[in-house]
Amino acid sequence: MNKTIDIMTLNPEQQQALVCMFFAMLPNTDKRYKKRKEYWEILQRRFNKKINTYKNAKDTFDFYFSGNDRVGWSDDRALSRRGKEFQEVFDKYGECEVDIVEKAVDEIIKLYSYDDISFISMKCGFPDTVHAMLNGEKEITIDGVYTLQEELVNEKIVFVTLGGDRGKKEVNWEPGFYGIAHIVKPPYDFGYNGDKKYFKFDIYMDCTFAKTYKREEFLGYRDAFDATYIGPELSRDPSQAISSLDDTKAVAVVRAIIDKQPELKDKMHEIFDDNFMNRVLGAVRVLIPSVAEYGESTEDIFKTYKSEQDAVQENEFIEPVFNTKLETEFEKNRIVFGAPGTGKSYKLKEDSEKLLKVNPKNLERVTFHPDYTYSQFVGTYKPVSEASGDIRYKFVPGPFMRVYVEALRSGRTDSPQPHLLLVEEINRAKVAAVFGDVFQLLDRDKNGVSEYEIQTTEDIRNYLAIELGGAPNKYEKLQLPNNMFIWATMNSADQGVYPMDTAFKRRWHFQYIGIDNSDDKVEHYIIPVGLGDSKKYVYWNELRKSINEILTDECKINEDKILGPYFLSKELLENAVNTTDSENSFIKAFESKLIMYLFEDVMRMKPQMIFKGHANKSGKMIFSEICRAFEEDGEMIFDINLPEAKSNNTEE
């Protein structure tokens, strides 16, 4: 007969079964019987099972203990039907003395009463909630919940998984582990849907991953098994959308993510405390997939696995060439900047034709905007529609990664060619966020190769292996070759621009385009001013310079906000006086582009200083009235009176 029960030899299911069997051994009159709900609540918090589940298990055991004065389930096969763990516990400990079982049960309850269940695991399947996350929203309201109320406290960390029925058309995302959040508003709005048990709580998304990670991607991490909703499932998931997650499983899950996305290590340090991260970065149990012949030792299996991996890694791999010996007069990282209309884009167009004269197709152009992101620039996992109509996730490269791959591919040839990534309006996006760790690569040595390398993500490694050959582990580091050029334009006059920090700017060669650098190329252009009988023709360059003199001398406006020669496009200037229709179109373009720019951007606070001719006539300082005055008085709205020019656009 057992004198003691070693609870550490029991798995969690057997431990729970032993607790239920203990209460079945007691009659209702035993004061220890009253502890059952308290003990079941502790198990409920740990294993996310309903108390009624434990009650039913106890009732099943009742049938086998006649001394408890309860009938229980009148079926001698009910125990085996409930689960093999129940039958095993009864067979082994059913005849033990109650006091011995009680001692073991108290140890189990003590074990699970410790506060080592620090986290929440949650599965989201409502389309509105998931789409809010996928759209980048940070604060998310979670509803449809009725359990773990006491655990949902402020600052509690939540592991977020995307679920949903893939058979429904509104479920257009890939299910899997998606990110980590923390609670910012504990349970509230109880009974919001008419059922008083349901409530809401709010989370803040601290970190989202480059892709959603499926259960099978955690197969190599033994302790991640049964991490609810995340890892491989050995026992059935709870029916509720949230569950507790113990520290050991959480450690394995976070380690798996960092192994797959090393760039998230610093972010995880921000989210979790030092003790937790020390465990994450310490020794974690991993499983190695392999095939074993009968009788092979573990050592033999590992040797076979290693040799197979080495063979795969060497397969069709050609070492990247970063120093291609390419010689050129142009800078590798270059930003051309100046006032609106100075010809920044035109300058880069001319230079790109010289740089890429062998193959003009080695150019990719992108325009930054305030919502532009790192994932758009470098690449990320996205849902992609296949020919069959099915939606699946795959890594979609951004312009940076596409040019990078082509540059490396060209660098392997006998005649490497330059490849150019041209960024228009670079400072209209938050460049530090868009470039991310890529900005570290912009430090180039004397040969034009990145001085420093950065760690790649697993997704990028796989992408580079597919595009360039070899195994993914051959691409653990990223480095710019000297045949990859990154040029950009910048207009500091725009209201929607973002400042660049010094660390970012020092990695570029800046070239300033002066306000009159292309002055000689627009001297012959003639434009109409005014409509109808008041229409006259003047030289565009004379009007531009006259307006600029007012802006700089009288209004004290900086050069980056005054008018460049091509503030109005070359096409617009060339067609300004061709026909009556084109002249009328030019007048409208002049109003919507130039007058609007001066009124809304440059002289927003004191428009009367630039439209002083209109102001002197006691005209209203509103945009519509200024435009009407221009159609009647032409350039006189600026208090400028230019001589009449020839009414054609031929060069004198």
Furthest C-alpha separation in the chain: 118
How high is the pLDDT of residue 457? 84
Please measure the distance between the N-terminal and C-terminal CA atoms of the chain and give it in whole angstroms. Answer: 117
How high is the pLDDT of residue 316? 60
Rounded Cα gap, residues 601 and 557, in angstroms: 11
Whether residue 441 contacts residue 481, with contact meaning beta carbons closer than 8 Å, is answered with no
Q: Which of 4-13, 70-79, 515-524 has the highest mean pLDDT?
A: 4-13
Q: Reduced to 3 DSSP states, what percent helix, strand and coil does the chain have, rounded to the nearest 5?
A: 45, 15, 40
Whether residue 16 contacts residue 51, with contact meaning beta carbons closer than 8 Å, is answered with no
Cβ neighbours for 346, distance < 8 A, ≥ 6 positions apart: 518, 566
Answer whether residue 652 shows pLDDT above 60.
Answer: no
pLDDT by residue (tens digit) across 189-224? 998 877 788 899 999 999 999 888 998 889 888 889
**Mean of pLDDT values over 75-93:** 81
Q: Which of 308-312, 334-338, 399-403, 513-517 has the highest mean pLDDT?
A: 399-403
pLDDT by residue (tens digit) across 113-125? 765 678 999 999 8
Answer whether residue 649 shows pLDDT above 50.
Answer: no
Burial 372-395 (b: 16+ CB within 10 A, else e): bebbbbbbbbeeeeeeeeeeebeb
Rounded Cα gap, residues 138 and 403, in angstroms: 32
Whether residue 189 contacts residue 199, with contact meaning beta carbons closer than 8 Å, is answered with yes
Angle formed at CA 521 by CA 519 and CA 527, multiple of 5 degrees: 90
How high is the pLDDT of residue 84? 86
Answer whether residue 364 shows pLDDT above 90.
Answer: yes
How high is the pLDDT of residue 164? 76
Q: Which two tokens stand for residue 619?
A: 């005209």
How many alpha carbons lie under 13 Å from residue 570 in its C-beta half-sphere?
8
**Mean of pLDDT values over 455-478:** 86
Bigger pLDDT: 491 or 331? 331
Q: Lowest-confidence range among 202-211, 299-308, 576-585, 615-624?
A: 299-308
Rounded Cα gap, residues 462 and 468, in angstroms: 10
How high is the pLDDT of residue 161? 95
Rounded Cα gap, residues 103 and 95, in angstroms: 15
How high is the pLDDT of residue 125? 87
What is the rounded (10 degree) CA torsion for 126, 132, 136, 142? -70
How high is the pLDDT of residue 487? 95
**Mean of pLDDT values over 31-40:** 91
Rounded Cα gap, residues 175 and 55, in angstroms: 34
pLDDT by residue (tens digit) across 227-279? 989 998 876 556 568 888 888 899 899 999 998 888 899 999 999 998 888 87
Which has the closest alpha carbon to 397: 418, 424, 366, 355? 366
Answer whether residue 648 shows pLDDT above 60.
Answer: no
Rounded Cα gap, residues 478 and 407, in angstroms: 13
Q: Which residue has the tokens 């791959």?
A: 405
What percentage of the chain reaches a pLDDT higher than 70? 90
Q: Is 436 exposed, middle or buried (0-12, 13-18, 19+ CB in 10 A)?
A: middle
Rounded Cα gap, residues 541 and 645, in angstroms: 12
Answer whether residue 650 shows pLDDT above 70.
Answer: no
Domains of the chain and any CATH numbers:
7-113 (no CATH), 119-280 (3.10.590.10), 333-511 (3.40.50), 520-638 (no CATH)
How many alpha carbons lie under 13 Å from residue 87 in its C-beta half-sphere?
9
Cβ neighbours for 485, distance < 8 A, ≥ 6 positions apart: 330, 331, 332, 333, 334, 355, 418, 419, 420, 421
Bigger pLDDT: 311 or 374? 374
How high is the pLDDT of residue 651? 42
Q: Lowest-confidence range among 320-329, 330-339, 485-494?
A: 485-494
Whether residue 354 contacts residue 367, with contact meaning beta carbons closer than 8 Å, is answered with no
Whether residue 188 contacts residue 198, with contact meaning beta carbons closer than 8 Å, is answered with no
Give, in order, the Cα–Cα distances in Å from 166 to each of 62, 171, 236, 483, 623: 43, 6, 20, 45, 53
Chain mean pLDDT for the chain? 85
Q: Lowest-confidence range among 10-24, 206-220, 328-342, 386-400?
A: 386-400
Compute and round to an integer the Cα radius of gyration of the chain.
36
How high is the pLDDT of residue 200? 92
Whether residue 449 contacts residue 322, with contact meaning beta carbons closer than 8 Å, is answered with yes
Rounded Cα gap, residues 122 and 229, in angstroms: 7
Rounded Cα gap, residues 311 and 522, in angstroms: 64
**Mean of pLDDT values over 320-329:** 88
H or E stretch covering 205: strand 199-213
How many alpha carbons lie under 13 Å from residue 118 in its C-beta half-sphere?
12
How high is the pLDDT of residue 494? 56
Angle formed at CA 426 by CA 424 and CA 431, multiple of 5 degrees: 150
pLDDT by residue (tens digit) across 285-319? 787 766 677 777 777 777 776 665 565 455 566 78
How high is the pLDDT of residue 496? 53
Whether residue 378 contacts residue 398, with contact meaning beta carbons closer than 8 Å, is answered with yes
What is the rounded (10 degree) CA torsion for 175, 178, 184, 187? 20
Answer whether residue 355 shows pLDDT above 70.
Answer: yes
How high is the pLDDT of residue 238? 62
Q: What beta strand segments (E) does 493-634 contain? A: 509-513, 526-529, 536-539
Rounded Cα gap, residues 598 and 413, in angstroms: 52
**Mean of pLDDT values over 440-457:** 90
Which has the closest alpha carbon to 126: 101, 145, 104, 102? 145
Answer whether residue 611 shows pLDDT above 50.
Answer: yes
Burial 486-509 (b: 16+ CB within 10 A, else e): bbbbbbebeeebbebeeebeebbe
- Give me the residues paired with residue 157 across strands: 182
